[in-house]
Amino acid sequence: MVLPAGSDAVTREIIEGKLLATVDEMGVVMGRTSMSPVIYEVLDFACGILTPEGELVAQMNGITLFTGTFGTQVQALIARFGEDVAPGDVLLTNDPFAGGTHACDLAIVRPVFLGGRLAAWAINVAHYLDVGGSVPGSVAPDATSVFEEGLRLPGVKIVRNDTLSAELVSIIRENVRLPDIAMGDLNAQLATVRIAERRLSEIVDKYGHDSLRDCFTHLLDTSEAEARAVIAALPDGTYRAQDVIDGDGVSPDQFEVCVAVTIAGDAIEADFTGCPPACAGPINCARGALNSAVKTIVKALVAPHAPSNDGWFRPLTVTAPDGTLFTAMKPAPTGWYYEGSVHASELVWKALAGLKPGRFSAGPYSSLCATYISGTDQAGRPFIHVEPQHGGWGATDEGDGASALMALTNGDTYNYSVEVIEAKFPLRVTRYGFNTEGGAGAGRHRGGYGLVRDYEVLAPGTVVHGSFGRSQTRPWGLDGGAPGSVNALIHVPAGGKPEHHSRIGHLATHPGDTVRIVTGGGGGWGPPEDRAPEDVAQDVRAGLLTEAEAREIYGHAGEDAA
Amino acid sequence: MIRLATDVGGTFTDLVGYDERTGEVYTAKGLTTTDDQSRGVMDTIETAQTRDGLRPDEVTFLAHGGTTVINAITERTGVKTALVTTRGFRDVLEIGRGNRPDLYNLRTRSPEVFVPRELRFEIDERMDAAGTVLRAPDMDGIAPVVEACRAAGVEAIGVVFLHSYINPAHERQVADALAAAMPDVTVCASHEISRQWREFERSSTVALNAYVQPILRRYFGRLEAALQDRQIACPYYAMQSNGGISTFDQAMDSPLTLVESGPSGGVAGAVRIGDHLGEENVLYLDVGGTTAKCSLITEGRAVLNTTYRLEHTRTWPGYPLQLPVVDIVEIGAGGGSIASLDARGGLRVGPRSAGSDPGPASYGRGGTEPTVTDALLTIGLFDPAAFAGGSFPLDVELARAAIGRLAGPLGVGVEQAALAIIEIAHANMINALKLVTVQRGHDPRDAAFVVSGGAGPALATRLGRDLGVRAIVIPPHPGIFSAWGMLAAEPRVDFRKTWFADLSTDALSRLSDSAEEMRTEALTHFGRGTEAPVSCTFAVEARYAGQEHGVMAPWTPGEDIATFTDAFHTAHERAYTFRLPETGVEITGLHLEARLAGTTITMADMDPAGRGLDDSRTGQRDVWLGDADGWVPCPVHARARLPLNTALPGPMIVEEDTTTTLVLPGQTAEVERAGSLVIREAG
């Protein structure tokens, strides 16, 4: 059978399906073959396919941090290399100041030449467990310059004529702490862009270059049109929001940040003018990460479930002067960039929440609360345990917030199995449960609960570092809902008193000590006095609230529940 | 002498009987009786008795497949269940993995739990990762749990302690105490269902097992009584999710193993067909009304899923189960899938389905949206008068009118639009079929393609041609192939165990000891003594040091390290395109697939009498094959009367009661000696 004439819609639909299947396949291979736990458990990577001009058309997204970073990165590489790319080349970049995020995120980019023509770009960005720098894991919470954050390779040819560059491999191997793991991840990344080329070549063989190109154009144009339609339906105006960032890792100072979001017709602008200059510590983000942070919320607004591509973001302008906390310049440190960029996302979220309540919730626990526990195990082998923490999300106009869910910056990110941790690392988990002590924001609908995770340290010389945001400023409530609760990294020395930390570069522990990770509950929605008595009664029954707490917050413990 | 299988679906209950002496086949179809499914089963047996003279006392084998377990879960109608965990970990079940695959939905949640927080209890006890006791269970903690469960009316309890996969002693001790204190409550410990690590996945498995256990026990109890009343006194088997069968007693101990009972019947059938035809690799597709399911059989064995998740979608984490389930990829593309234009003017097919009510537009029951069935009717592939054996005439004009509403905006004619719908459904199926083959390192060109289901054979020849398969096979009874497959299934059990060590000669020798223990466990499971014809196939899950996920590599106890290492590198490269010969290898698990041989269905030769080209020819019909070919006249043949072992050239339509097959120009079709229709590219 031959395709019916004039069936462009059919061919496009088929090619679109194949593009999505391709990025999915890249993701499956990456997740399963990667060596580093950051990638396989945390899924801190993403894969995509872009047009020859560097516009994203299909993305496999494990996390939101890479929403829209691909376009900027590939366009920076196009500018750098110009015509100097050939079939069989693969480029590598990890420069935060050229569209990237932080030095740990290595982008592997393959120009896909088919029949001598550049048909597309395939990209895979993955977080490496270590790229050198001042601390294991390369992201010191108290770094004061990018030079402390590991090896930067701002656009190099890692593969030429399908041959891996021995020089570059040697540079990487000699500059990272865990070279075997790094090489395993590099292999996995290279395999994924190779798969992309194979699948694209099957599409072009069957449907031709023009059909592929037509599909790209159509995807971008129709996404743009849909996004504009949603934006046009919102009332024109400028909507402002403010928030506070708690500490930068160098000092506990608070930073007030703000946004003005303007809806004008079918366009949207997010203006961060008025935000403070880059701070001393590494929670700064550069412009690429800022754009990505704003795009995440625009995507949530216009089409949360549709596959991502750059068309959705054509109506968006992001305005911010150079050199702010959200637009840091070299040599500002950016190792913990997502601790800053999440606030850019949340500002836009907060500004828009009232405009389209059906797409938003109240404030979440926000911070990834990434925790690094490192040392030497009983057999004398070095270990690093890296773990993002899950926490409470805000309530919505329809129901209570979600408990124990991954932060906005990540996404399809798993927690770490206690049984697997104990089999691998000299650590014992003694509690993993809801943070009922901290509680969640009260409201007609309450926020979701955060978590408490207790690690008992078993090996001498174990060191902890991490960067927990929202340690003082609680997640915001909406429509009269109460704010949620805060995050904390607590050290309980054996037989001693608990010490509270938030962003800490070096915490020495001893066997028998407990490292307690606490994440906050989300904000509430609606006045607490409007909460249904049966909902209060259920929380008491489930042990989320004591009767005394219920009386204090809601004035009763649900005795009158039907 | 007579093998019976019953497949209890959501709407219909199918019965297939096979007389091994004569090759005679009995079939009966009845409505599923949802209040007590055993009535529906007995109704179909009654029908076969009165209509076809089935003699119950001659039944020597009965297999049952059905939706009892999956329905209790999806409809949330299981029993009130409690869960007992290690102190400090009662929230593990509700926390889940905390992943948020619905990335841009700022209102997403985690799946609801099956055991609410007030029914999750903690006992003070602890093992370490080596299985060493750190703290013995506090048995004084049991009494308050018993009291709370009694007060709440709990009917089933799951027990899950940390590291029970390596040392189940504490779980056993506490489960025994709970069972002794509450004899009327079902108690189930996680290690009885899974010996794998990851506490959430094991908790989820034991909680769901407990949730459905009383339901299945009651149902099988009623069914057994009814079968005995009817003088059917043979062994009763349940179709499991692993493509094999177990006795009713075994199934009642771990009812969750029946979760994908229905679909795995078809897989078992495809395994049998492959074996009969001498094809080691089989790609199996079943196209139902709402979905299409595909799976792969390699080296004569169904591939199992390593991370089965119930209700999982792209944006929903679902419920992981540590169980052997055949690897089935299911997509929303079936005969009833609705075609529509999306906001961007693209043509979509599925996942919405017209189901059986109102059904496709051509059913004339009020459906107005065009479906895949309407498209197949419009291009002439189905005979409107002969659909479903003539019991259910279709209305071509209604189909054309529905498709016409899409043709306008697409700017094409009705036939072109119909073909476009088929084209999209076809592309969706190709993506799913490639997912189970190419994406997992298997080449469809090495496989036979077995296709069943109402709309499957109508699409099969195009799909097979695009995939380049060795042969397309329409098995006997494609409309009730799941039930037929259950007749063919063998008793089977799978054991998976987390088994962790660096690869070394010593480790392999210890692994051989573990394998021997597993083999003994399997022999005990089947209960036929140590000389029973049990075939054991082992596989070792291994990974490169530093990786998290392992790949399964074949292994035989006693095999040397070089042979296994090579097998592992090969398996890794096949799955992920590269190997790392310099990197150390870790063993992470041991898997045993054990089958009790000797009870599968014979596939007797068909009787050639009454078969011949002239006998089978029933007419001619024009089929639209696209703009290039236009309407092509195709002879129509009745499958039951086609001559045996004779390759006939396409184009040709082959009809039977439940389905229609289109043999394309350039293909040949042949009914082989046991009745399968085998289609190959000519020349």
pLDDT at B546: 73
CB-closest option in A187, A305, A396 to B578: A187
Give chain A positions within 8 Å (CB) of B98: 390, 404-406, 413-415
**Contact (CB<8Å) A431/B107:** no
Tell whether the model's pLDDT for residue A6 goes beyond 50.
no
Tell whether the model's pLDDT for residue A4 goes beyond 60.
no
pLDDT at B170: 98
**Contact (CB<8Å) B198/A417:** yes
**Contact (CB<8Å) A191/B576:** yes
CB-closest option in B347, B410, B576 to A33: B576
Instruction: List the single best residue of A66, A292, A419 to mutate versus B (max B Cβ within 10 A).
Output: A419
| pLDDT, tens digit (0-9, with 9 covering 90-100), for B585-624 | 999 999 999 999 876 777 888 889 999 999 999 999 999 9
Tell whether the model's pLDDT for residue A562 goes beyond 70.
no
Chain A contact for B105, CB < 8 A? Answer: yes
**Contact (CB<8Å) B420/A4:** yes
pLDDT at A41: 64
Candidates A344, A362, A234, A365; CA nearest to A287 is A344
The overall pTM is greater than 0.90: yes
**Contact (CB<8Å) B91/A225:** no
- Residue B51: C-alpha distances to residues B43, B477, B478 (Å): 12, 19, 22
Tell whether the model's pLDDT for residue B538 goes beyond 50.
yes
Give chain A positions within 8 Å (CB) of B545: 180
CB-closest option in A2, A187, A188 to B627: A2
pLDDT at A37: 63
Residues in chain A, overall count: 562
User: Please, is B554 exposed, middle or buried when counting C-beta atoms within 10 Å of its C-beta (0-12, 13-18, 19+)?
Assistant: middle
| pLDDT, tens digit (0-9, with 9 covering 90-100), for A354-405 | 999 999 999 999 999 999 999 999 889 888 888 999 999 999 999 999 999 9
Which pLDDT band holds residue A38 (cuts at 50, 70, 90)? low
**Contact (CB<8Å) A396/B547:** no
CA atoms of B44 and A203, how far apart (whole Å)? 49
Tell whether the model's pLDDT for residue B193 goes beyond 60.
yes
Give chain A positions within 8 Å (CB) of B100: 405-406, 410-413
| Average model confidence (pLDDT) across chain B | 92
Cα of A294 vs its chain's centroid, Å? 12
The nearest CA of chain B is from the CA of A339 a distance in Å of 18
Instruction: List the single best residue of B89, B92, B104, B437 to mutate versus A (max A Cβ within 10 A).
Output: B104
Name the one residue in this structure whose structure tokens are 């005990």: B524
Share of chain B above pLDDT 70, in %: 100
DSSP, res A84: -
| pLDDT, tens digit (0-9, with 9 covering 90-100), for B415-465 | 999 999 999 999 999 988 988 887 777 889 999 999 999 889 999 999 999
Chain A contact for B581, CB < 8 A? Answer: no
Give chain B positions within 8 Å (CB) of A403: 94-95, 110
Q: What's the whole-number mean pLDDT along residues A160-168?
A: 96
The nearest CA of chain B is from the CA of A448 a distance in Å of 10
Q: What's the whole-number mean pLDDT along residues B191-212?
A: 97
DSSP, res A478: B
Tell whether the model's pLDDT for residue A501 goes beyond 80.
yes
Give chain B positions within 8 Å (CB) of A25: 439
Chain A contact for B411, CB < 8 A? Answer: yes
pLDDT at A408: 96
Coil vs helix vs strand at A62:
coil
Tell whether the model's pLDDT for residue A122 goes beyond 60.
yes
Name the one residue in this structure whose structure tokens are 């009705």: B414
Share of chain A above pLDDT 70, in %: 97
Domain boundaries, chain B: 78-211, 337-426, 492-596, 611-683
Number of Cβ pairs closer than 8 Å across A and B?
235
The nearest CA of chain A is from the CA of B417 a distance in Å of 8
CATH (one of 1.10.8, 1.10.20, 3.30.1490, 3.40.50) for B492-596: 3.30.1490
Q: What's the whole-number mean pLDDT along residues B231-238?
A: 93
**Contact (CB<8Å) A406/B100:** yes
**Contact (CB<8Å) A13/B105:** no
Secondary structure string (H, E, C) spanning B360-386: CHHHCCCCCCCEHHHHHHHCCCCCCCC
**Contact (CB<8Å) A1/B629:** yes
Tell me how many helices (H) and strands (E) chain A has: 11, 20
Which two three-digit tokens encode residue A302? 């216009």
Which pLDDT band holds residue A42 (cuts at 50, 70, 90)? low
Tell whether the model's pLDDT for residue B33 goes beyond 90.
no
Would you report the helix, strand and coil content of chain B in percent, each value rounded to 5? 35, 30, 35
Name the one residue in this structure whose structure tokens are 């493509």: B243
Candidates B74, B259, B84, B264; CA nearest to B177 is B84
Tell whether the model's pLDDT for residue A8 goes beyond 50.
yes
**Contact (CB<8Å) A419/B575:** no
